[in-house]
Chain A
Amino acid sequence: MIHRLVFENLKHRPVRTLLSVVAIGVEVTLILTLVGVSHGVLNDMAARSKGTGADILIRPPDSAGFTFSLTMPEKVVDVVRTQPHVAMATGTFVKYVDSFNSITGIHLDEFNAMSGGLKVKRGRMFESPDEIVVDDVYAQQHHLKPGSTTDLAHLWKVSGIVEEGKLSRTFGDIGALQQLFEARGLVSTIYIKLDNPANIAAVKDELQKLLPNYKVDSIEDFVSLFSVNSVPYIEAFTRVVIGIAVLIGFLVVCLSMYTAVLERTREIGILKALGASPGYIVGILLRETVLLALAGTVVGILMTYGTRMLMATFAPSMPQEIVPDWYATVAGIALAGSIVGALYPGLRAARQDAIEALAYD
């Protein structure tokens, strides 16, 4: 019976119910979108790292996380090539423009041989020192086509658009980049392909002995770094967004239930006259809150498909994944925020004087 009362109460004020559900939905979408983008971007980076075709990579001493901001002598590449089971090795130079943009210098022939080749979809491969190619995602996001110019720490001419999925979104000639950014003879990373993947562990150990201060990782170990837990700022940022989202849910439900309690003052008086205990009255409001939170969670999950479409259109370089393993967590977060939000109105309702409530018009 109490469930029918709860349901009818929600039906009685459809606009308030709808707004509450949508607001909780926004809270849920906010969290799922952030988590989905974090996972999407990291998995995309991992997939592009694997797209190099390399089995092992070497980074300079003191390299941290999965950035390529430090450099090492290019002569190390020659040393690596002499090692047993190394079929090919190539160095790349990465110039970071900001946190989200970089340009990667490659030895085109070596990189093509290792990765299977950059596939030019439009235009042509870079030929002169001022030319670069960008992948189709980068071209879409920055509205570039062959012949366009783009500023990546230097004004580059885009000679062609290549298929995405291989290491970087922007490629230029390594020699041109080393000269332009005063890094002659330096590389950021060395990618190594072996004669047989079965030799990865052994070769990795040998290379580590040979280059004790360098970061030597199998590509599988390296891509395992691409997780939310290994990027401290993403974890912290996620916590902040969850906090804001919980606050939104709390405020929305608190306001919604507070107005509901004010509006239903007389009805609360009636229930009290019938012998309803404070717990019974709080129970009605909490049930309404749980229904709002669950409906909001479902709406929020559905809205996530909308945000994924928006991200794919306006920020294709930040792919958003749908993250079903977060649904239970986000439902818990929405429920917790909503229940806390309903507590004050609920207690106010429970403490209402029955005689005053019955006299309320």
Chain B
Amino acid sequence: MTEVKAQNLTKTYRVGEVEVHALRGVDLKIDAGEFVAIVGPSGSGKSTLFHILGGLTPPTSGTVLIDGRDLIKMSEGDRTQLRKTTVGFVFQKYNLLPTLTGADNIEIARDIAGKKGHEPDPQFEEILKLLGIASRLKHKPRALSGGEQQRIAIARALVNHPALLLADEPTGNLDTENSTAVLSILQGLNKRLGQTILMITHDPEAAAFADRTITMRDGRVV
């Protein structure tokens, strides 16, 4: 089953008087349960693709389907709903809320998705075990290492069971040991739980953890 499908996807920004063609007709297909890495140099359009697939910005033209839903027809409210239920984000800078504990950072994602109370969620319990962060959940981000913060960010991204996990340079701020640990976790989530993952990276070693690598250059898949 296809999880993500993009055809002739374009995105044009206007910066002052200048039009910037960030995506120039991207064709892309990711099946459910795949772990795909997108690599490419700066300015290749990786981040723009990440933002469009995550519903953070609308595409200019083309077709893009995620979990059967067409993003081109989505309103701002629809994209908010998509972020709430269908995609989960992992960022390079972790992006945890600094005032909340690790557990509360995960809980706020559930709250935003409208899930109240604590119904048993065996699959998420499995994810927490895989992440190995149970003893660190009561700490605030400032008391956690980069690797621990990123693992909590992964837990937060998966708590609502999104169809697609989007990871933007998830090891960009980590040392080699923590990078390997985080990438192994992503691989484990994909293999053991069938989580579809799209990871953006400029690091070939990180990309090697994925099943497949897509290369972008000048706004196109090459």
Contact yes or no, B112 A9, CB < 8 A: no
Within residues 265 to 279 of chain A, which ones have a CB less than 8 A from any CB in chain B?
A: 266-267, 269-277
List chain A residues, Cβ under 8 A from B95.
266, 269-270, 273, 358
Residues of chain B at interface, number, CB under 8 A: 28
User: Shortest Cβ distance from B203 into chain A, in angstroms?
Assistant: 20
CB neighbors of A among B83-122 (8 A): 83-85, 89, 91, 95-100, 104, 107-113
In the complex, per-residue mask of A234-276: 1 if CB is within 8 Å of any chain B CB, else 0 = 0000000000000000000000000000000011011111111
In the bound complex, how far is the Cα of B51 from the Cα of A11, in angstroms? 33
Check if A41 is an interface residue, CB within 8 A of chain B.
no
- CB interface residues, B 52-97, toward A, < 8 Å: 54, 56-57, 77, 80-85, 89, 91, 95-97
Residue of B nearest to A361 (CB): B93
A4 touches B98 (CB 8 A): no
| A12 proximity list for chain B (CB < 8 A) | 98-99
What's the Cα separation between A358 and B95 when bound, in Å?
8
Whether, in the assembled complex, A2 has its beta carbon less than 8 Å from a beta carbon of chain B, the answer is yes
Tell which of B83, B91, B97 touches A5, judged by Cβ atoms closer than 8 Å: B97
Query: Which residue of B has the minimal Cβ distance to A12?
Result: B99
Closest Cβ–Cβ distance, residue A349 to chain B (whole Å): 14
Instruction: Tell me if A1 counts as interface (CB < 8 A to partner B).
Output: yes
Q: Chain A residues with Cβ under 8 A from B98's Cβ?
A: 12, 267
Known contacts: A273-B83, A274-B109, A275-B81. The answer to whether A358 contacts B91 by CB under 8 A is yes
Q: Inside 8 A of B89's CB, which chain A residues have their CB?
A: 273-274
A276 to B111, CA, bound (A): 9
A12 to B97, CA, bound (A): 11
Given contacts A267-B98, A358-B95, contact A273 B54 (CB under 8 A): yes
Q: Mark A1-28, 1 if CB is under 8 A from B, else 0.
A: 1101100110110000000000000000
Q: A1-B104, A354-B56, A355-B57 are in contact. Are A276 and B112 (CB under 8 A)?
A: yes
Q: Are A8 and B91 in contact, with the CB atoms below 8 A? A: no
Chain B residues within 8 Å of A266, by CB: 95
Most chain B CB within a 10 A radius of its CB, from A12, A275, A276, A277: A275
Contact of B100 among A8, A269, A354, A358 (CB under 8 A): A8
Which A residues from 109 to 148 make CB contacts under 8 A with B?
none
Check A273 against B56 for contact (C-beta < 8 Å).
Answer: yes
Q: Is A314 an interface residue (CB 8 A)?
A: no
If A4-B104, A274-B83 touch, whether A355 touches B112 (CB-CB below 8 Å) is no
* A326 is an interface residue with CB less than 8 A from chain B: no
Other A-B pairs beyond A2-B108, A273-B95, 11, CB < 8 Å: A1-B104, A11-B99, A12-B99, A271-B97, A271-B108, A273-B54, A275-B85, A276-B80, A277-B77, A354-B56, A358-B91
- Chosen A-B contacts, 16 in total, with CB atoms closer than 8 Å, are A1-B104, A1-B107, A1-B111, A2-B108, A4-B100, A4-B104, A8-B100, A272-B80, A273-B54, A274-B89, A274-B109, A274-B156, A275-B82, A275-B85, A280-B112, A355-B51
Contact residues of A with B, CB < 8 Å? 1-2, 4-5, 8-9, 11-12, 266-267, 269-277, 280, 354-355, 358
